[in-house]
Structure formats: structure tokens, C-alpha cells
Structure 1
Amino acid sequence: MQVLWFKRDLRLSDHMPLFEAMRNAKHHGLVLPLYIHEPSQIADVHTARQHQLFVHECLDDLQQQFANVGGYLHEELGEAVDVLAALHAQFKFTHLWAHQETTQFAQYQRDRAVAAWCKSAGVVFHELPQNNVQRARGDKADFQTYLNRAAQQEIKNPAGRNLQAFFAPRPPPVLKRCNVPNAAGEDKPLRMKGGRTQARAVAAKFFTPAKLKSYPFSISSPLKAWNGCSRLSPYLAYGVVSDREVLQKLNALVNTVHGQGDSVLISKVEDAARFYVDRLIWRQGYLQQLENHTGLETDAFYGDEPAEVNQEFLNAWQHGRTGFAYIDACQHFLQQTGWLNMRARATLVSFACVQLGLPWQPVALYLAQQFLDFEPAIHYGQVRIASGTSHFSQMLVYDPLKQQAEQDPKGEFVKRWLPGYGTAGYPAPIIDNAESLKQGKARLHAMRQNRLL
């Protein structure tokens, strides 16, 4: 028998471990698809209730996808090694299939523990790469080559086929989700819902000529970004869709526009498509960066980073009570939706770390819990840049008053998401904007100079 282990790759389409396990069923045995609810990962400090419920919705959808092809998804509760060991004792499976995943250190440690157990138990562990990300000395094509392949290669999708003969008998019992411990925190009322069906609906709404050509002009302001961005980030983060699927959807749209023969529209859509692809390239770059520098989540790159936490400042920033309307509105928006556009995220981090002088670690951890689309490589990469604690050559500092003037000139965003603004109960600014910017930039400059010495 073979076990097919799902983690942050909650789909059947473009899933090479699934394809390879099925292809090898004749030689290695029938396939047991498995998802493990791991108490240690649920209790991890990065995991919030909204993440867990999003995953549950994805699993419900994945169960239906399996049912449609004559299969099932077996869910277990327990630590990965313990669950696999118990299944091995019962079924003596010989092969374990999974994707390589670039994620936080706790999950990387879990994957290493599984690999060690497989070696000791004589189980062949196949970890297949994805997203053109290189692990250790693995092969990695340049992005243009990968892009060309991704746009042209047929995506393997089992939908519409009856694969019942390839699945091992389903082991009892069927897990009841009520027995799975809850992650910390509360769900967010306006967050996006999980599942392949939801992802397809979101993609269909975005990948139109009108939406795509307006995309480059919609991503900076949280007012426009809510409807102007593709909003596929949670589905990419949890592998509900693959980057190859997104690239092919984009390519199909461009080809469709070409078929209409409108040269002006073609030019605008092509420009917007390249702009979108650039963001996918950045995403891959962040993933590769974490593979190359696994300490990105924890390591201090500068010896004199601040260690003390001003709890009053941290609480005011977290709860949207800083007296800076744009910052506070962004926090209230995030608390309701679990999402912010990239520039607003950078502004929150810059304000917290540069102007309030907070260490990047508690800032990064809090936002990881708040972002539904938390993906460690991208999250920590962006936080380190916006906090000034990365190796990025430029020092990016976002003046919150300037950002408000540029991104919310009529105050629409602030009025909608900060109802207490302008009343007697709204707090005065907790710092002087100009002075804190001056001191923060000087501190970052000194940190960088010390590193060069």
C-alpha cells in the first residue's frame, strides 16, 4: 500500500504526488489519501482559528473532489509520526508521497521527523518539488524556462475519471471534526472561505480583460485593492490552486484577447499580465529565499536590534488605537477580513518597527495570526524588508500620513473602518510623526553601518 499525505496542497488538479502514486499503484499497492490534524501544529503560535476553519472548508471541498473520482480523503488526529507509525503497523505501507513545502520552522521540523521515521521503518518517502523552488542541491530551471513550461504543459486533472480501483479500502474510523482541538483566537466575520469551488469562483471573477487591465492601478490603496486584486493569495498559500494553474489561466485570457483583434486592449492586457506575472516571480523568490536562509523566521541579522518591547505601544498598534487614523483603520479592516493589500501591510510594519521602535518579532507574529493568507516565506520576507532588518539594499520607510494622503485622499477608507475617528473618544497620536520618522531612520542607518564595519 501507498500513503498520499496532504499538507498545504489541498487539491487534486496539478498534484504530482497524487499522479505518481496512482501511476505506481500496480507496483507499490493501492493508495490511501491522508490528512493529519496535528495538535502541535494547531497549537503553533502562527496558527489562528481562522486558518484552521479555512483549512476545514478546503478539506470538505477536497473530500467532495475525491468522492467525484471514486475515492475518499482519510483524516486522522495526532502527531504525524505517530499517525504514520500506527497506519504502518496496520497496513505495512511501503511508500509515502507528499510535496516539498517551504513553510515555518515547526512544519519543516515535522517533515524532517517524518523523513527520519520513514528511513527507520523502511518506507520510501517521495517528496516532490513544486513552484520551481530548489531544495538543497535540487534542479531548478530559470524562471523564464519554468514560465514557458508552466504555460504550455498539460495540467494533470483527475476530474471526470473513475479512479475507485486505485484506492485502498478506507480504514475506520471516520474522524469527527468536533474532536479536533481548536486553534487560538476567533474566526473573522469577513474572511474568504476555503475550498477549490471558492477559488475557482474568485479566479473567474478576476481573470477578465476589464479586471486584469485595471489591476496595476488597484493594488496600492486598500479601498481599491479589496475588489481590484486577484484575491487568490489564501488559495495559493494552502495549495488549493497551483501557481501553474494561475499562469495558465492568465495565458488563456491573453490569448482570448488576442483573438478579439483590438490592438489597444491587447496592449493594456499584456502589460497588466506581465505586471501580474512579476508578482508571481516575487512569490517564487520569497519561497526560494526561505529555502536558502531557513533562519529568516528567527535570526537577527543585526547585532543591535531592539530587544525591549514597549507593551503600551504594541497594544495600541494591535488594537488600532495609535491616533494615526490610517494605521488604525488598516488594523480594524484586517481584524474583520483577515486581509490587507501589500502596501498597507508594509505600512503597518514600518510604522510599528521604525516609528514605534518595536522589535520585528512580535510584529511579525501578530500579523501572521491576522493574515488568512499567511505564507511564512512571503510573510517573513516582507516583514524583514519593511522593518529594515533584511539584507535588502534599500531602506523602505512608509510615512503613515503620506500614505493616507495618497491612498485614501477623501478619507473613505478611514470613515468606513474607523467609526470612532473624529469623536472625543478617539486617542491623540501616541508619537510625533516627523520626530519618530527622523529617529527611526537614524536608528536603521546606524544598524546598517554597524553591519558593514
Structure 2
Amino acid sequence: MSEKIILVWFRNDLRVHDNEILLEAIRKADKVLPVYCFDPHYFQTTEAGNHKTGNIRARFLIESVANLRQNLRNLGGELVIAHGHPAELIPQLAEQYHISEVYHHREVAFEETGISEQVEAALWKMKLNLKHFIGHTLYHKEDLPFPIKDIPDSFNTFKKKVERDSAVRPCVQTPEAVMTPEIIDAGEVPTLEQLGLNEPIADPRAYRFVGGETMALQQLEQYFANKSTAATLKKGSSAASKLSPWLALGCLSPRQVYWELVKHEVSINSHPLMLELLWRDYFRFMFKKYSSKFYSPAGFKDNAPELATNQDELFDQWKNGQTGVPYVDACMHELKITGFLHNSCRQVVAAYLTKTLKVDWTRGAQWFEEKLIDYSPASNWGNWAYIAGVGNDPRENRYFNPKTAAELDPKGEYVRLWLNEEAAGDLAASA
């Protein structure tokens, strides 16, 4: 009798801890074949002339995939790294390694689900099954107090019902060992140059995010180690955690973060980090409910915002940090240099683009897609639609006044840091 081999297709779940598909494959099969595909779709140039994936996020991805390979090797396994379209590569590998079944985590955005459907159709022709798992959210879909189609459009209603009626499942255990078939060619981790991108410019003002599960768990540990008292923890800041890039690529499990909060006996429901996890869940479930409507200028309200006539000129001023509004410009410079922005900054610049400049909000969402190191489709497009007033906001004509930036930066320190090139030079000299 031939051995059973399951192919585990990694996408945005680049970890070995709390990874149900990996653990389930190990339990059900004699051997597993872990695979990651660098899909050229994500490294193309868009119609607007932007990179779909910018160099800062691409570097973080490369590091994360390399770390996943190392962690699998530490367990006795290996990660096959392939380059090309998954709908072509996965069936080829399935045939080459006599695969019995393919496992993967289900996505929600239409591009990602479209790729899954292509893979599923190709495998179906080979009489192979693509098994879907749910592993990107804090709350499992089946544990929600309502079906997806009835999820409240109000976040506050969603939050109250979930906190009252749902429970977070325990993390699944980390495998003790991974057995793979004899691998002929495991492939190489690409360089940025091979992906058509340049190395990011080093800047002493930029926090250096390093991709991978190992760094993610270290960052989580450091976040709690830096909080010396329970009182400080209760006032903890999700922004200070800087966990979102690792959460976006699945280097860190949302449940792992939750149970760390429980372990440290913080007030769960009022903690900013818990709020961040709930917003992530909410937008993913909203994408399941409304699908591609989130990509339409009219959102799911069938009423696109009024637009200015000189769209290109205004958008270029905004993206280049040349609006003349210091706080907005400082935020845009930080985004370009670091790939990261505090959520308050994101709200300010999004509101300014859509409400003051009256530029199509989808252009801003596309710019964030390229630049953000923690980009994920549901959170990015969901938040932009929310700010633009065409998404999940029960209040009509919502407006975040960019003048409130004075409250965010009362001494002007943030503006001076990101708009003063001499300050950046001084930092470089002292480094």
C-alpha cells in the first residue's frame, strides 16, 4: 500500500505554531509536503503604475518565507519554494510527489479566492481534493453567534455580540516533527531584484521590521516584558506592539496574541490590542458577506462620493507628502520610508484625501496596498471604505478633521522628525 502524502499550501499563514493545516496534515498523512509559491500576480505593476507589492513588504515576505523554511527544517522537514502561478505549480507538484490531498487556509478577498478556485479546478481534473481550513481569524466562523450573511454592519454591535456569546478556541499544538518525502529540488528564496524590486533605502528614522515567525514571537514576548505592572498593561497600546505586519502574513496567530493577553491577566475586552484583533476579524467576515463590493468606489451603499476634477494633481500631492498640511505630509513621508503608520495617522491621511481633496478613495487604498508592510486586503479596503463613508459606518457623512492632528502631535515633534531632512541626517551621524 502506497504512503499517503498531503501537500500543505502556505499562503498568509507562515508559521508552525497554531497552524491547523500543518498539524492536521501531519496527523492524517504519512508525510507532508509544505509548499510556498511566489506568485508573479503579486509582483506586477498595476494600471496606475504602482507596484502591487512594494519593496518594504516584499522584503518582509522574503524574510518570513525564509524563516518558515528554517523552522520546518528545525522540525526535520523542508519547505518547497516555487515560482509561478499556483494553479500550474500545485498540480505539477501533486503529480510529481503522488499527493493524496492538498490543504490550505481559506482567504476572503476576491483575488485570493479566485486563485484558490483556479487551483481547486485544476486539482479536480486530477481527482484531487483541495481542503479548506479557517485559520486567519481570532474567532472561528462556526463559533460566531450569527451566520455570515447576518453579521451586523455595525462594528459595535458585532463586538458586543461576539464578546457576549462567542469564545476563542485554544491554540493547536506545535508539531514535534515534520516528515517530508524525498525532495528533489526545494527551490530558492528569491531576492528583491529577482522579484523586480530595489532594496529599500536605509533610514535611521525607520523601525526595522524583520519578517518571520521567530521575530514575531520575540516581538510578542517583548511587548509584555516591557509592561512592568498590571496597571500599565491595562492601558497598553496596540500601536506600541507593532504586531500587525506579522499578523498580516500569519507569522503570528491571533489566538496566540489573545491567550498571551489572558495569561497576563489584562482586562481583555477593553485592551487596545484586543480591539485591533476584533477589527481584523470584523473586516474579514465583512469581506465574506459583501465580497468585491469593497473594491467599488460606491462601496456597498451604491452612492460614490463626490470627486474633484483635478484628481491626478491632488493625488500626487497627497502621495508625495506635498499637500502643505504638515501633519498629513509627515504621515505620508513616514509611510514611504518605513511602510508603516499608526492607525491615527492612517485615519488622518485617508480622511484628508477623501473629504478635503475629494479624490477617489480607491486610489488611496491602492497606494496603501503597495506601501504598507502590514497590508491585508480586508483590513485595508475595509478601513478605506469606512473612512470614505461607503463602508461599515452607521453614521452618515463621517468626517475626521485633519486639524485634530494638533492633538496627536501637540509639540510638533512628529512633524519635525518626518519633514526635517537635517534631523534625519543628524540621526544617521549619531547612529
- TM-score by structure 1 length? 0.78
Tell me, in whole angstroms, the C-alpha distance in 2 between the residues paired with 1:148 and 1:315. Answer: 46
Question: Where does residue 158 of structure 2 map in the other structure?
Answer: none
Question: Where does residue 257 of structure 2 map in the other structure?
Answer: 246
Question: Where does residue 108 of structure 1 map in the other structure?
Answer: 113
Tell whether 2:394 aligns with 1:393. Answer: yes
Structure 2 counterpart of 1:7, which letter?
Answer: R
Q: How many residue pairs were aligned?
A: 387
Question: Where does residue 291 of structure 1 map in the other structure?
Answer: 288
Three-state SS of the structure 1 residue aligned to 2:34 is strand
Question: Where does residue 200 of structure 2 map in the other structure?
Answer: 187
Q: How does 1:365-404 map to 2 (within 5 A)?
A: 365-394=366-395, 395-403=397-405
Tell me, in whole angstroms, the C-alpha distance in 2 between the residues paired with 1:127 and 1:409. Answer: 49
Tell me, in whole angstroms, the C-alpha distance in 2 between the residues paired with 1:271 and 1:251. Answer: 7
Which segments of 5 or more consecutive residues in structure 2 lack a partner in the other structure? 47-51, 146-161, 423-431
Contact 1:206 1:212 in 2 (8 A): no
Contact 1:48 1:183 in 2 (8 A): no
Question: Where does residue 24 of structure 1 map in the other structure?
Answer: 28
Match of 2:12 among 8, 11, 34: 8
Contact 1:33 1:72 in 2 (8 A): yes
Shift of 1:131: 4.2
Tell me, in whole angstroms, the C-alpha distance in 1 between the residues paired with 2:192 and 2:372. Answer: 26
Q: How does 1:88-107 map to 2 (within 5 A)?
A: 88-103=94-109, 105-107=110-112
Deviation readout 1:148-206 (Å, 9 max, x if unpaired)? 443xx353112xx344xx31111325336259842556536334110112112211221
Q: Which moved more, 1:272-281 or 1:405-414?
A: 272-281
Cα distance 1:177–1:415, how it changes in 2: closer, same or farther (>3 A)? same
Deviation readout 1:282-335 (Å, 9 max, x if unpaired)? 221111001111124422233453465521111111111111001001111111
Question: Where does residue 428 of structure 2 map in the other structure?
Answer: none
Contact 2:139 2:167 in 1 (8 A): no
Shift of 1:214: 4.8
Deviation readout 1:22-50 (Å, 9 max, x if unpaired)? 11114xxx211111111122226432222
Structure 2 counterpart of 1:122, which letter?
Answer: K
Structure 1 vs Structure 2 CA RMSD? 2.7
Shift of 1:368: 1.6
Contact 1:36 1:79 in 2 (8 A): yes
User: Aligned residues: percent identity?
Assistant: 24
Three-state SS of the structure 1 residue aligned to 2:287 is helix
Tell me, in whole angstroms, the C-alpha distance in 1 between the residues paired with 2:123 and 2:66. Answer: 28
Tell whether 2:73 aligns with 1:51. Answer: no
Tell me, in whole angstroms, the C-alpha distance in 2 between the residues paired with 1:242 and 1:49. Answer: 24
Tell me, in whole angstroms, the C-alpha distance in 2 between the residues paired with 1:250 and 1:183. Answer: 40
Deviation readout 1:324-381 (Å, 9 max, x if unpaired)? 0010011111112111111210110100011001001111101121111001111111
Which segments of 5 or more consecutive residues in structure 1 lack a partner in the other structure? 220-224, 255-268, 422-453
Cα distance 1:24–1:350, how it changes in 2: closer, same or farther (>3 A)? same
Tell me, in whole angstroms, the C-alpha distance in 1 between the residues paired with 2:338 and 2:331. Answer: 10
Tell me, in whole angstroms, the C-alpha distance in 1 between the residues paired with 2:382 and 2:186. Answer: 41
Contact 1:134 1:288 in 2 (8 A): no
Three-state SS of the structure 2 residue aligned to 1:320 is coil
Tell me, in whole angstroms, the C-alpha distance in 1 between the residues paired with 2:413 and 2:94. Answer: 58
Q: Which has the larger radius of gyration?
A: 1
Shift of 1:85: 2.3
